[in-house]
Amino acid sequence: MRPMLKLHDYLPSQNGFKVRMLLQHLRLPYEHVPVAIFQGESRTAAFLGKNPLGAIPVLEPEPGVYIAESNAILCYLAEGTPYLPADRLARARVLQWLFVEQYNIEPTIGTLRFWMLTHRLGTRQAEAAAKRAAGERALDALERHLGRHPFLANDRYSIADIAVFAYGHLAADASFDPAARPSFLRWVERVRTEAGTLPPIHPYPPDAMA
């Protein structure tokens, strides 16, 4: 019998959300293992043995085997499914947007959202201005691309859309203006339609507050 997947995760994280979203698409049962990152659980020797960077999520596909980095987990889970094409060029286009998400979206929109929701923005104004400018550029790039394509890669729904959607659809939480980008908003609704029921968005608990 195949062992049940374990997902070591922190529920308020949208990096974890994207993995939960794909697991739900694939109807894969899994055990959710909560990691209280603000109580130091991701810095224990035991957790650092799973991911030396001490970050969540971490997928455990079988006992003692660990995969870190949310987009690497998406690729692992999507292998052999329509969410990650086998064709070389089509796959490269999916990977292109996974890299964009981790370089241009998560560090800007995701970070600003975290700072705002956990009351950390006040001491980071100089950094925040740079991140906001970069986040605006990322959203403008998405608007240009999605004005010509229904989905991010190969005009088909894929893990590229799941990855970008995780933080992208919450851009308003970081005071970005999605309404100024109608193609982006239409894409958000297309992803919601493809996804059906989405995993819940979990608020940050009191121990995350600055």
Q: Are residues 204 and 190 in the same domain?
A: no
Q: pLDDT by residue (tens digit) across 124-175?
A: 989 999 999 999 999 999 999 999 999 999 999 999 999 999 999 999 999 9
Distance CA 186, CA 150 (A): 9
Q: Are residues 92 and 191 in the same domain?
A: yes
Q: Are residues 62 and 117 in the same domain?
A: no
Q: pLDDT by residue (tens digit) across 12-60?
A: 999 999 999 999 999 999 999 999 999 999 999 999 999 999 999 999 9
Q: Are residues 53 and 116 in the same domain?
A: no
From residue 2, how far is each of 58, 91, 116, 197, 207 by CA, in Å? 19, 27, 42, 26, 37
Q: Is the peptide bond before 203 cis (omega within 30 degrees of 0)?
A: no
Q: Are residues 64 and 26 in the same domain?
A: yes
Question: How many domains does the chain fold into?
Answer: 2
Domain with residue 51: its CATH number is: 3.40.30.10
Q: How confident is the model at residue 123 (pLDDT cuts 50, 70, 90)?
A: confident
Indicate yes or no: pTM above 0.95: yes
Q: pLDDT by residue (tens digit) across 185-196?
A: 999 999 999 999
Q: Are residues 123 and 55 in the same domain?
A: no
Q: How confident is the model at residue 3 (pLDDT cuts 50, 70, 90)?
A: confident
Q: Are residues 54 and 93 in the same domain?
A: no
Q: Are residues 168 and 71 in the same domain?
A: no
Q: pLDDT by residue (tens digit) across 60-113?
A: 999 999 999 999 999 999 999 999 999 999 999 999 999 999 999 999 999 999
Domain with residue 115: its CATH number is: 1.20.1050.10
User: For residue 53, what are the domain limits?
Assistant: 5-81+199-208
